[in-house]
Amino acid sequence: MKQDIHPKYYEAKVKCACGHTWTVGSTVPEISTSICSSCHPFYTGTEKIVDTRGRVDKFKKRLEKSDQKKTTKTVKKPRKK
Ligand SMILES: [Zn+2]
């Protein structure tokens, strides 16, 4: 290795927002993250969504509304000629 050109190597502690911690090799001593493999729905298989500003709720409500419209729609009237 060349001298004085490499950054310091740390056993960095990674902290996730869910409370899970682990270590990785890194050039910074501490890393904080908001999602990790132990809480991301892709790995957990749960349908927990990280919902900021209630956007998911809004979308679900809209979806329900459109479903109701579909079911309440009456049978097509035959066209007048
Ligand atoms: Zn996590």
**Ligand 1 centroid vs 72 CA: distance in angstroms?**
43
With CA atoms as reference, report the closest residue to 50 among 18, 21, 19, 15.
18
Query: What does the pLDDT average to over 63-68?
Result: 88
Q: Is the pLDDT of residue 71 over 90?
A: no
| Topology adopted by domain 10-69 | Rhinovirus 14, subunit 4 (4.10.80)
Q: Comparing 23-27, 63-67, 75-79, which segment has the lowest mean pLDDT?
A: 75-79
Around ion ligand 1, which residues have CB less than 5 A away? 16, 18, 20, 36, 39
pLDDT in tens, 26-60: 999 999 999 999 888 888 887 666 666 778 888 88
pLDDT surpassing 90 at residue 20:
yes
pLDDT value at position 50?
A: 64
Residue scoring higher pLDDT (72 or 36): 36
Separation of first and last alpha carbons in the chain: 88
**pTM for the complete prediction?**
0.49
CB 19 within 8 A of CB 36: no
